[in-house]
Amino acid sequence: MSIKPGKRRLGIMGGTFDPIHLGHLVAAEEAYHSFNLDKVLFIPAARPPHKNLENVTNISNRLQMVELATAANSHFEVLDIETKRQGPSYTVDTIRELSNEYNGTTEFFFITGEDAILQIMNWRDPEVLLQLTNFIAVSRYGRPAGEHDHFMAQLPENVRKKVHPLEIPLIGVSSTDIRERIAKGRSIRYLVPDVVEVYIREKSLYLYI
């Protein structure tokens, strides 16, 4: 991994966060330490382009849950910049906005799962995105540890040189599973931070899916 001297290093944790869970937080914390990041920015997608918005929880609730989940960590920060733009929340627009704001003084590291990285050429303006940011590819749950070579070999060369694999403690939890558990009356304790569980209960979220 090439580190440019004198530049600030920011991790970007984008996603729907519907709801945020411990897997998101573990990945962000591991990336922070493993890649010597100055901070990890959590940026909830206001209007995720790959999802039916009728099935997505209101952004105000999702944003509040992310703020609650990250409040105790001094190197986590939540940005609401995607809520201020019209239209779908494309990653390339967010990275471009941050790049302009920091004016060349910062290296960006977008944190996401391996499966998402494999589809990156289907994202909006992938070539621009690859110019603006590095990617931290978080190991997929269920993949044997140490098999990142096979994952990397599946990537086009121009993508591979911008991707840095990250193996994390494997946590078999997803936002989809959490929503289904709530709808079925099952416990989500220890799958989300306690403050998020309380918020979900108080707001009666995910009772019907």
- Domain count along the chain: 1
Burial bucket for residue 26 (CB in 10 Å: 0-12, 13-18, 19+): middle
Model pLDDT for residues 105-149, shown as the tens digit of each residue: 999 999 999 999 999 999 999 999 999 999 999 987 656 655 667
Asked whether residue 153 is assigned to any structural domain, the reply reads yes
Model pLDDT for residues 5-58, shown as the tens digit of each residue: 568 999 999 999 999 999 999 999 999 999 999 999 999 999 999 898 899 999
Tell me the two tokens of residue 41: 């920015």
Q: Let me know: does 19 contact 65? Beta carbons within 8 Å.
A: yes
Asked whether residue 208 is assigned to any structural domain, the reply reads no
Asked whether residue 119 is assigned to any structural domain, the reply reads yes
Q: What is the dihedral of CA 187, 192, 195, 197, to 10 degrees?
A: -30
Asked whether residue 209 is assigned to any structural domain, the reply reads no
Q: What is the CATH number of the domain that holds 54?
A: 3.40.50.620
What is the average per-residue pLDDT within 71-98?
96
Asked whether residue 204 is assigned to any structural domain, the reply reads no
Residue 128's domain comprises 8-142+149-172
Asked whether residue 202 is assigned to any structural domain, the reply reads no
